[in-house]
Amino acid sequence: MSYDLLVIGGGSGGIAAARRAAKHGARVALVESGRLGGTCVNVGCVPKKIMWHASQIAESLQEAAAYGFGRADAVTHDWHTLRSNRDAYVEWLNGIYRRNLLASGAELIEGHAQFAGPREVVAGERTLSAKHILIATGGRPFHPKCEGADLGIDSDGFFALDRRPESVIVAGSGYIAVELAGMLRALGAKVTLIARGKRLLRTFDAMLSTHLEGEMRAQDIELVLDEPIDSLRRDGAHVTAKLASGSTRTADALIWAVGRTPNIESLALDRAGVATDELGAIRVDAFQNTSAANVYAVGDVTGRMMLTPVAIAAARRLADRLFGGQPERKLDYEMIPTVVFSHPTIGTVGLTEAQAREKFGDAVKVYESRFKALYYGIQHRKVGSAMKLVCVGADERIVGLHTIGMGSDEMLQGFAVALRMGATKRDFDDTVAIHPTSAEEMVTMN
């Protein structure tokens, strides 16, 4: 069977490409062996955000007394109900993705796909050929190779937990690690976060890392930084992590959150001439082309900006280029906003201060604001917020915007639009503030 476009992988990127190409009139097939929606829908963004909402409610219950509400200790939490409702919603989304894909005119082929040649794929007992092939198989959690590593679970295992552990060790320093640590602590677990690096979120602006570390410690999360885990061992119903220094930590569960690796092993990429980098990610150029003619890749399998909206945006632009008469259409990977659902939340877009100074030197000027959101005005525990604008040149064009604190997740999107349009500090200054909000601090810094 021959197609205009054959998509391998039914995650967000693959489905976005298939639907957009079909809309342009292409004959499209998509091959997927698991649940539609990929990591984001099944074991990523969506169930994670539901768990974050639960943890946010838990925090609000603790803070309600200052606003005159009853005692939070009278409220119980049923993990099983949360998991059941979350999983039912994910299953509903699986159905939505299937219906939308089929409604677009694309064909769904259920099974594993493997290259048989440059533009030929075997899926089950079928051999498929296409003018264009897109690889969008995503990634999976990475497990280190230390002794006893299999005693730990990963983010996929977190979503499979049938109860909340009383104590948890989270290993990692990236956004998945800090999100899981914050959620579990807010829901009542004793949490220790162990990282081999000297700071959290090392690729983010240093202000965000420092502020988050302080807030996590204020939440009684133990942070053990610059301490690699040497081995794990089973202690009855518990797991003990031995650190490189010789010290140990014991908990009900350990969650590995130390990175992700591309799903490429079963694809037989060599038969198609598709090259990968030293980390196993598929090499692509600015137009998502791989080293093989008419074979493309988008999303986590490329190792670039592993975010669902990025995969979707790159996939749609690729379909527009191949079938929509837009030969120069491609994704601009600059100024991509992202949010970390930590406690408190983080929003960031553009260059960090360090990146800007490396690129522009003395032309960089930075504005910062630190404050407590009004919500915490009558609270005993006051969670701080911090914001930073990184500006360049005489016109003070804003090349980086970083915020941590209540509302940072929702306020970032609009500011990201402004930065993409080339907003300057004067543009922000000339915008009337909305009071009283946290967002007004962004346009009143001096």
Q: Which amino acid is at 238?
A: H
> DSSP letters along 153-214, please?
B-HHHHHH-SS--SEEEEE--SHHHHHHHHHHHHTT-EEEEE-SSSSSSTTS-HHHHHHHHH
211 is catalytic: no
The secondary structure of 356-396 as a DSSP string is HHHHHGGGEEEEEEEEE-GGGTT-SS--EEEEEEEEETTTT
Q: Left (φ > 0), alpha (ψ -120 to 50) or beta: where does 393 sit? A: left
Q: What is the rounded radius of gyration, in angstroms, for the C-alpha atoms of the chain?
A: 23
Cα 131 versus chain centre, distance: 32
Find residue 404's DSSP bridge partners: 346, 386
Number of helices (H) and strands (E) in the chain: give both, helices first: 11, 21
Contact 30, 14 (CB under 8 A): yes
Please say whether the beta carbons of 12 and 46 come within 8 A: no
Is the distance from CB of 403 to CB of 440 less than 8 angstroms?
Answer: no
Whose tokens are 């909206």? That residue is 309
Alpha-carbon distance of 342 to 355, in angstroms, equals: 23
Instruction: Provide the greatest CA pair distance for the chain.
Output: 68
Q: Are 441 and 371 in contact (CB under 8 A)?
A: yes
Eight-state DSSP code of residue 288 = -
Catalytic residues: 435
